Amino acid sequence: MLKLLITGGAGFIGSNFIRYVLARHPDAQVVNLDKLTYAGNLENLAGVEKDSRYTFVQGDICDAEVVAAILDGGIDAVVHFAAESHVDRSILKSEEFVRTNVVGTLNLLELCRMKKIGRYLQISTDEVYGSLGPESAFTENTPLAPNSPYAASKASADLLVRSYCRTHNFPGIVTRCSNNYGPNQFPEKLIPLFISNAVNELPLPVYGDGLYVRDWIHVGDHCAAVDKVLQQGNEGEVYNIGARQEYTNLEVARRILRELGRDESLITFVQDRPGHDRRYAIDPTRMENELNWRPQIPFEDGLRETIEWYRRNSEWVANVRSGEYLTYYDRMYKERKRTLSDR
Ligand code: NAD
Ligand code: DAU
């Protein structure tokens, strides 16, 4: 029986991962530790609470007492998703990113070391590598060069994991994935925001010239990759995860509009993101060659299914788009709004 502590399991990728693990590993038990910030939502796990193999603990990864109590309950491995995850928010205000992403990770590492936890996965991001030119892709040996406070906080956490592995012989592994999309993603990120806006015939705010490139992977493929690393990855190593599916933001916007039968006039160019990384692209060769992992979901199919999910789950969208979200989004959008005619 494998008993997992999953942090941030009420968020987008964490909730998809909990469903993935419970569906594929009948002998697994899961403890989900989540603070339930604006991004954490127990609706993402509807139905899962009935599974006797699942336990939810509302708490902060920075809280040593809470984390220690869970680890004392007998945990075999930790999969650490919990984070402040949105680049634009980190530009507006950075403290929470350092608190959760750096201090919170250190707290987990230290307690896992003391309690001799058998395996620890740090769920990191390709953003730690910074921005790419038109050629090449990020490998595990690409130097870290984060450009946003979010990316800097994730890179700091990765370096702490590395230091624990080297100094304490700690069983840590880092995964770095490219941009995820799929069900239950909070609609402040590009794809769910554009789908929700397009459904409601609201403008799609494209930053700068819209020619920034992201490398998209369906969250289901990411979950399968994390599971592979959990089962077969080598301690002290880094694994890049990506599906070799690069698109400009404009191309993504156009595909969403086409799929929903909406007019391209909804595309609204707005002020650029400061420090905006031009291009990300992951080289997933190590995952493919060493762990025999392959992504299964082509972008076209995954995007269509995701659009369908957001259409079917309009109540979920309405719930998360209320309250604190609206205050944030109004502020962001007003600050950025600069149509082509203003230029
Ligand atoms: P998310 O923002 O949807 O979810 C984050 C979760 O962490 C939420 O449930 C939130 O309540 C919880 N959380 C935040 N602070 C906490 C704290 N102090 N203690 C306990 N719980 C806390 O994020 P996501 O998009 O699901 O990303 C999950 C992880 O994957 C992050 O570490 C992120 O850096 C990484 N990642 C994300 C992507 C992506 O495209 N979304 C790609 C690569 C890596
Ligand atoms: O690459 C992995 C990272 O992907 C994760 O580590 C982050 O947690 C996740 O948020 C994501 O970061 P990005 O900054 O790439 O994602 P975001 O969805 O915020 O933006 C994607 C691209 O779309 C980026 O070039 C900015 C642009 N954009 C975004 C928004 C929200 C727009 O043009 N308009 C928008 O309204």
Backbone φ and ψ of 35, nearest 5°? -80, -20
Ligand nearest to the CA of 154: 1
Q: Which residues are catalytic?
A: 126-127, 150
Ligand closest to 40 (CA) is 1
Question: Does residue 130 belong to any structural domain of this protein?
Answer: yes
Tell me what pLDDT residue 337 has.
65
pLDDT of residue 321: 84
What is the mean pLDDT of the segment spanning 103-112? Answer: 98
For the chain, the farthest-separated pair of C-alpha atoms sits apart, in whole angstroms, at 61
Does residue 332 form part of some domain?
A: no
Count of the separate structural domains present in the chain: 1
Give 214's strand partners: 247
pLDDT at 63 (0 to 100): 98
Inter-CA distances, 10 with 32, 65, 96, 286, 292, Å: 8, 20, 18, 29, 29
**Containing structural domain, residue 154:** 3-184+216-242+280-296
Residue 233 lies in a domain: yes
**Does the residue 160 lie in any domain?**
yes
Helix, strand, coil percent values for the chain (each to nearest 5): 45, 20, 35
The pLDDT of 228-256, averaged and rounded, is 98
% pLDDT > 90, the chain: 91
- Residue 207 inside a domain? The answer is no
259: in domain = no
Q: How far is CA 247 from the centre of its chain?
A: 18
Non-local CB neighbours of 139 within 8 Å, separated by 6+ positions? 240, 283, 285, 286
Block residue for tokens 């025999």 = 292
Alpha helices in 233-267 (DSSP H): 249-260
Q: Would 86 be classed as within a structural domain?
A: yes
Task: Note whether residue 29 is domain-resident.
Answer: yes
Taking the centre of ligand 2 as the mean of its atom positions, its distance from the CA of residue 26, in whole angstroms, is 35
89 Cβ closer than 6 Å to some ligand 2 atom: no
| pLDDT score recorded for residue 305 | 98
- Supply the CATH number for residue 285's domain: 3.40.50.720
- The pair of structure tokens assigned to 77 is 């491995």
| pLDDT one-digit tens code per residue, 138-166 | 999 999 999 999 999 999 999 999 999 99
Q: Residue 101 corresponds to which amino acid? A: N
Reported confidence tier of residue 134, pLDDT bands at 50, 70, 90 = confident
- Closest residue by CA, ligand 2 atom 8: 85
